[in-house]
Amino acid sequence: MSLFVTKNSKTKTSVAMKKLLLFSSVILLLAGCKNSGKGYLVGVQDREDWYQPDPYGMLFIPMGSYNMGNSDQDVPYAQVSQSKTVSIQAFWMDETEITNNEYRQFVYWVRDSIAHRKLGESISDHLITENEETQETYDPPYINWKTEIPWADPGDDEREILNSMYLTDQERFYRRKEIDTRQLKYEYYYIDYKAAARKDFTTPGDITAGGLNNRPQGLKDRSVYIIKNTINVYPDTLAWVHDFTYSFNEPMTQMYFWHPAYDNYPVVGVSWVQARAFCIWRSQLLNSYLQGHEETFVNDFRLPTESEWEWAARGGLELSPFPWGGPYIRNSNGCFLGNYKPLRGNYVDDGGLHTLVVGHFAPNDYGLYDMAGNVSEWCADAYDESAYNFAHDLNMSFAYEAKETDLPVLKRKVIRGGSWKDVGYYLQVGSRSYEYQDTAKCYIGFRCVETYLGRDKGDGPNASNVYN
């Protein structure tokens, strides 16, 4: 066999290589046509078909515009809720107030997570410390929720560790073994978008000058906007006693939160900060599930803004003083339509005494229960008497993140809807009041909302662009 290559054979080889390269280029071009749209701008293809079902226990509230403020006489003549036209985007809202049993799921989750970590110090199966595939170390470790906490029948080692979560012997009442609720602390995070959006600089237009806040630092390290908090999540059951002087409410303090008889009653004794922590936990609970099933995240659960709450409470009825219309708190048969304080202290006249089972009275036209009476409800907004004068008319909201060192006046948060201990005026959809964010009352609860992904129902990825 000859080892020499002729000039002619070299030429043939060169031509063959060129043809091969040309053929490969054509193949690659054709393969890329699917994404390139044959040279046209068509967007990223093969995106998932998105459909979001109604979140469990929530009702859809359509977008709309309405006249926010008093629809009847301003009884105290406080002039803190002038008429203002606002527009609201679509969202979901809890059908009822958060109940004792629903909030208890949060409390038990915190309890079990603390127990998992305590046990994980000696029993590694309870914690996942690294990724088996990448050997990446997790700090802090992930909890292995598949391993249940043996509360009922722990082993010797587990019993000794779990005992540290109970009240000590000298603190027990008649030797009852009870969880030390002071240990039930939840560590959570949220993003301060307001701080990230501010442009308060020492020199206008100069983003390197330092300025009046941390935005320049945030341009380099976004972690400055991630706020970490730790809070005890157990409700203040003593609220039933300290909210009323010379009143015997000790039985409610002893039984209201934990006894099965009150499972479907609205949770009370929860501060605004605890309510927000619950919303963050609820968001992470759902998004963790979606992530585990390789599904796309949804909007976070949160407290409603003041304008959202009033829009939902009105139920689509224009200028009506109550969720059911008005102008009366009784129907044509003389029956009360909400749980409040009738007349001059006849608490039982409406069928209740204090709180009632959620959904006891008829819902409004959006299907929401107890938007007037039962318990007042926390809103996300800070309270300011003149907020209607300066807040925007698009998704109106006035937010302020109060610090511990702030004056009490800056810690006021809006409450709406009136409660079992309030007179009829506070049941009106336009009535405003407030409490301090770090206080817990036996007449204040809350419910969550979630912003709808899109303009309105029917506006999915394949919907028409024509406005209906």
Q: Which residues contact 300 (CB under 8 A, 6 or more apart)?
A: 279, 280, 283, 450
Distance CA 442, CA 411 (A): 19
Across 284-373, where does the E strand assignment appear? 301-302
Instruction: Categorize the per-residue pLDDT at 28 as very low, low, confident or very high, splitting at 50, 70 and 90.
Output: very low
Q: What is the pLDDT of residues 226-236, one digit of tens each?
A: 999 999 999 99
Q: What is the pLDDT of residues 390-411, one digit of tens each?
A: 999 999 999 998 988 999 999 9
Q: What is the pLDDT of residues 427-451, one digit of tens each?
A: 999 999 999 999 999 999 999 999 9
Mean pLDDT of the chain: 85
The answer to whether 452 touches 91, Cβ cutoff 8 Å, is: yes
Q: Which residues contact 177 (CB under 8 A, 6 or more apart)?
A: 166, 167
Structure tokens that stand for 439 in this block: 């206080």
Residue 206: per-residue pLDDT: 45
Which amino acid, one-letter code, is at 335? Answer: C
Residue 7: per-residue pLDDT: 46
Q: Which residue has the higher pLDDT, 201 or 284?
A: 284
First-last CA distance in the chain: 81
Residue 12: per-residue pLDDT: 53
Distance CA 454, CA 33 (A): 30
Q: What is the pLDDT of residues 197-216, one digit of tens each?
A: 876 544 444 444 444 455 56
Instruction: Categorize the per-residue pLDDT at 382 as very low, low, confident or very high, splitting at 50, 70 and 90.
Output: very high
Q: Following DSSP, what letter does each residue of 403-450 receive, concatenated?
A: -TTS-GGGGEEEEES--TTS-GGGGSTT--EEEETT---TTEE---EE
Q: What is the pLDDT of residues 327-354, one digit of tens each?
A: 889 988 889 999 999 988 899 998 899 9
The answer to whether 241 touches 249, Cβ cutoff 8 Å, is: yes
Q: Which residue has the higher pLDDT, 34 or 243?
A: 243
Residue 369: per-residue pLDDT: 97
Q: Which residues contact 308 (CB under 8 A, 6 or more apart)?
A: 61, 88, 91, 93, 395, 449
pLDDT of residue 167 exceeding 60, the answer is yes
Instruction: Categorize the per-residue pLDDT at 46 as very low, low, confident or very high, splitting at 50, 70 and 90.
Output: confident
Q: Average pLDDT in the 366-372 region?
A: 97
Distance CA 321, CA 324 (A): 8
Residue 70: per-residue pLDDT: 84
Residue 223: per-residue pLDDT: 85
Structure tokens that stand for 299 in this block: 């909007």
Q: Average pLDDT in the 272-279 region?
A: 97
Give backbone dihedrals phi and psi of 329, rounded to 5 degrees, phi first: -90, -10
Return the ∠ at Cα 313 (arms to 310 and 314), rounded to 5°: 90
CA distances from 107 to 92, 112, 359 (A): 24, 9, 23
pLDDT of residue 2 exceeding 70, the answer is no
pLDDT of residue 47 exceeding 50, the answer is yes
Q: Which residues contact 146 (CB under 8 A, 6 or more apart)?
A: none
Domains of the chain: 57-99+238-468 (3.90.1580.10)
Lowest mean pLDDT among 140-154, 176-190, 395-409: 140-154
Q: Which residue has the higher pLDDT, 54 or 195?
A: 54
Q: What is the pLDDT of residues 7-27, one digit of tens each?
A: 455 455 555 555 555 555 545
Instruction: Categorize the per-residue pLDDT at 218 as very low, low, confident or very high, splitting at 50, 70 and 90.
Output: low
Lowest mean pLDDT among 75-89, 211-225, 454-468: 454-468
The helix or strand, by DSSP H or E, that contains position 304, with its residue range, turns out to be none
Residue 359: per-residue pLDDT: 95
Lowest mean pLDDT among 4-13, 38-47, 147-156, 453-462: 4-13
